[in-house]
Chains A and B, each alone.
Chain A
Amino acid sequence: MDTVASVPIDTPLLDALRLELRRGCLVLAVLAQLRQEHYGYTLRKALTDQGLEIEESTLYPLLRRLETQGLLTSQWREEDKRNKRFYRLSPAGEATLAQLVVDWRELNGSVQNILGRTER
């Protein structure tokens, strides 16, 4: 392990790989979180509280894209004297999420197995 630790890491490359790794997970997390209705600010807070930080500049375009793809529905409503856009999972989103969760568990299990085997 000492040898691995002493090799310098290419930071921009690592950042790019992290971004790639996070991208698919974020979609899954956002869809899962929107089984309950949220508006952008509370959604981001809920994700952060559970350890998944996401920038506004990433979250809002993602929500808009998922809505265009028919996985979310949104509604403007007044709350605390302020207009807010509330999002929740659409029926198509619920079905997609169910399948994605199955895929995620399979993938996660496989990766865990591989990681467990290589770390031994």
Chain B
Amino acid sequence: MQQLVAVLVGVLMASSVYLMLSRNLVRFVLGLALISHAANLLIFVSGGITIAMPSLVPEGASRPAPGGSDAVAQALILTAIVISFSVLTFALVLAYRAYQRLETVDTDAMRAAEPRRPPPSGGAGDLP
């Protein structure tokens, strides 16, 4: 099971890199979504995956039964998922706003911040 998830992390990471290499902003954002899934799953594996072994402390003991998975790692992913969810939403909105204002999703064609050629003196390219 752990090996399987580990391979899945690798596959997700590889596909996200493939998507992020694209010049299309939408594909890039999808790549970001996948890479954050990969990172979250990685934390999940690092805490250990067990089947039908709740990480609870048995009555009378002071620590969880041995062999169970680590609950801290799962708490970490919960936080990470919430953060990556909000960040991703933000990225989507940003991409949409950029599409509205710049009228393209091709990152090569987005030259508003860095004009291709320095404008001649007195040109209209003076940035704020």
Partners in one complex: no
